[in-house]
Chain A
Amino acid sequence: ETGVTQTPRHLVMGMTNKKSLKCEQHLGHNAMYWYKQSAKKPLELMFVYSLEERVENNSVPSRFSPECPNSSHLFLHLHTLQPEDSALYLCASSQDAGNDAYEQYFGPGTRLTVT
């Protein structure tokens, strides 16, 4: 176990649904990340939060809405998704983010299927 948990592990949702993904880290880290992993493509960074403040939004469509209420929790709110949004969504955390590059620790991911 890496100290980063994600729920749910699997999610099937229709294009008109609203759902949320949850991530929790137990490592005392200050930075958290959302990544998208699609088949045959490199992991894509979506959002970066440092000390609960969003510091990076990697041109992600507005149907994905992140929320970081504290340094241990990260959410990804989903609404009106498209079938091409089906992927594995990974959460990661690191000690900090910004002036240096720190080791990132990943959760197991949420397998999302949009029907």
Chain B
Amino acid sequence: GENVEQHPSTLSVQEGDSAVIKCTYSDSASNYFPWYKQELGKGPQLIIDIRSNVGEKKDQRIAVTLNKTAKHFSLHITETQPEDSAVYFCAASKTDSWGKLQFGAGTQVVVTP
């Protein structure tokens, strides 16, 4: 089955700097890669996603890149703000899998003022 590895497990950045989180996946059939942000006491919130027919997607300060050949994808947050502090999860899924998302273990991001 699919295995998703996520690094780093914790990331501390200064406000205004960029943060990058990387994930690798094992199943070459995976074709959908969402990223979730989870704040304390809340459920995961979808922040951006990318499908395998696209190499990069951007939404304001957030971008995701996908390298299908290497089977890895990354989340980039620019101009970080204290409200970006949260746990971020990557996930992978594929067609005909009943929506089964395989999640990474999460990255705790701390943005210090």
Residues of A at under 8 Å CB distance from B?
Answer: 2, 4, 6, 31, 33, 40-43, 45, 48, 50, 55-56, 58, 90, 92, 94, 96-109
Give Cα A33 to B105, complex, Å.
19
New contact pairs (11) apart from A6-B43, A48-B98, CB-CB < 8 Å: A2-B43, A31-B99, A42-B104, A42-B105, A48-B100, A56-B98, A97-B99, A101-B99, A103-B49, A105-B46, A106-B45
Task: Given A42-B105, A42-B106, A56-B100, answer yes or no on A101-B42 (Cβ-Cβ < 8 Å).
Answer: no
Closest to A58 in B: B100
Cross-chain contact B99 with A109 (CB below 8 angstroms):
no
Q: Mark B97-112, 1 if CB is under 8 A from A, else 0.
A: 1111111111000000
Provide the residues of chain A in CB contact with B81, threshold 8 Å. none
Contact B45–A97 (Cβ < 8 Å) = no
The digit string for B29-67, where 1 denotes a CB below 8 A from any CB of A, is 001101010000111111001010000000000000000
Taken together as a complex, chains A and B put the C-alpha atoms of A81 and B104 apart, in Å, by 26
Q: Which of A43, A94, A107, A108 is the one whose CB lies under 8 Å from B99?
A: A94
| A-B CB contact pairs (8 Å), 17 listed | A6-B43, A33-B99, A40-B105, A43-B44, A48-B99, A50-B98, A98-B98, A101-B31, A101-B32, A101-B93, A101-B99, A103-B34, A103-B46, A104-B101, A105-B46, A106-B36, A106-B43
Q: In the docked arrangement, what's the CA distance between A109 and B40, Å?
A: 11
Residue of A nearest to B104 (CB): A42
Q: How many angstroms between the C-alpha atoms of A7 and B99 in the bound complex? A: 24
